[in-house]
Amino acid sequence: DADVTQTPRNRITKTGKRIMLECSQTKGHDRMYWYRQDPGLGLQLIYYSFDVKDINKGEISDGYSVSRQAQAKFSLSLESAIPNQTALYFCATSDFSGVQQFFGPGTRLTVL
Amino acid sequence: DAKTTQPPSMDCAEGRAANLPCNHSTISGNEYVYWYRQIHSQGPQYIIHGLKNNETNEMASLIITEDRKSSTLILPHATLRDTAVYYCIVRVAFYSGAGSYQLTFGKGTKLSVIP
């Protein structure tokens, strides 16, 4: 079984809809991250969490919110989706050192 | 974090060594060099990291110049499965304030391994 899983893997939605992307990990890591990737570009950090009670904004947090329900679960929400949020979204985890991040398979989100 | 410069693309013959360069001329003394790769639309995969000494693991070798302003990732015997975008990232290894855990991915180098 994969260490980091993301659901759904693909989602098509309409402008204005609320969307939640979920991430679960079995690595026992405290650190979790959400990134987005636009076609042909690198990844940009949206939010990261050091533990259940510690959540921090990344470089592009506007229009997104997150919830760390448990050590193993970190959800990303788009409160009112817009077309320029169409992208590939990745969840990642790391241990305390943060040296190595382990990425999930990604969620491809399309906002029409 | 320091910026990195990588060639946009490279080709390598299958079975040969792939040498991927990276320039990071503004790297700070407490910043490490990390390499990740991303196989088409999959999640990025950690390869290796180092501070100033050369490093080797089961996937690759990392050669860092003495002045630390550039580095080379070496895949000793490239296979078709090594075709991917390779990202060179410099970052502090341990938490030192807000954002220090961020991996700043540029556009990377698209490596194509040719049969």
Q: How confident is residue A43, by pLDDT bands cut at 50, 70 and 90?
A: confident
Phi, psi of B82 (to 5 degrees): -85, -5
Residue B25: per-residue pLDDT = 93
Q: Do A98 and B43 touch (CB under 8 A)?
A: no
Is the N-terminal amide bond of B44 cis, ω within 30° of 0?
no
Nearest to A5 by CA among A102, A111, A110: A102
The arithmetic mean of pLDDT across residues B39-61, rounded, is: 92
pLDDT beyond 90 at B91: no
Q: In this predicted structure, what is the pLDDT of residue A40? A: 77
Contact call for A43 and B103, based on CB within 8 A: yes
Please name the member of B41, B94, B103 whose beta carbon is closest to the beta carbon of A101.
Answer: B103
Is B107 in Cβ contact with A4 (below 8 Å)?
A: no
What whole-number distance in Å separates Cα of residue A56 and Cα of residue A33?
A: 10
Please write the tens of the pLDDT for every residue from B7-34.
999 999 999 999 999 999 999 888 899 9
